[in-house]
Structure 1
Amino acid sequence: MVKRLGVLLLLVLSASSVAQTVAPVRPMVAAPKIDTIVIDYRQQWEKERAKNQALRDENARLGQQLAEWTRRGGSQVHAYCETPTLSRSSAGASNDCAVAGFGCEPVSGLCRTVANSSADCAAGYIYCATNRQCVRDANACR
């Protein structure tokens, strides 16, 4: 019985020491209230739609400007081949490349000044490999 009393006393003392070491419970503080944000999706949609329309209009305007600049005779086209032997400038001037025996060079739009093959020569002329010129006949090639 003494033994039981000692165990009981030990339990009571342990319980009181545990109760003293536990931190006191503090009351919870209420979280601050957050205002709800109201988003007007219809207004945002209208604003984005208006911006998209403005961008479409600007794109169309720039496309027309580019088409005007790059068309034949446009301000950004300086020369072009109107025919395989006729070079024309955007100002309207022309040069007959066949007079010198050459064809028009399609990338630059100018008359060729040297040839690499008979394809670079005007009709009725042949390629002279000696001097890279277009000549009327083989006797003219020296």
Structure 2
Amino acid sequence: MKSLIFACVSFAFLISVIFAGGTQNNVRCYECSGYYMQDCADPFDNRTMMLTAKCAQCSKGSVQVDGKMYIERRCLQLKSDDGCQRNATNWECLCSDVDGCNGRNTLVPGGTAFSMEASVSVVVLSAFLSIQQFVLQ
């Protein structure tokens, strides 16, 4: 019985690792610059934009040119943690939870961008810890 539980726990942990990490380029992102295209600004109207395939992560950020702030949306080939960062003049938010996530008007510093992969990992890890505690009793 304990070996069956251990096998289930091991499988759950493996699934958690698969969902939590990696640099799989399977999300599609919008790519545009508000400096060149007025349609790129917020509120964003994606009806005129195409999604770029094979991105590891999407980016939405601000770029300052001649004292004016513009929105820029990009497809990134390397993945890092989802979330937002701000410096003195610019900000950038990274996301990879759904196709077109950098098209959200709410994806800005101070807002919340949840990753489905992170949520699944937390649930699986919680289940793993509960089963492990049950087995050790």
Which band: TM-score by shorter chain?
under 0.3
Greater relative contact order, per chain length (Cα 8 Å cut-off, separation 6+): 2
* TM-score normalised by L of structure 1: 0.25
Give the number of the structure whose alpha-carbon radius of gyration is greater. Answer: 1
Bigger strand fraction: 2
Structure 2 length-normalised TM: 0.26
Larger helix fraction of residues: 1
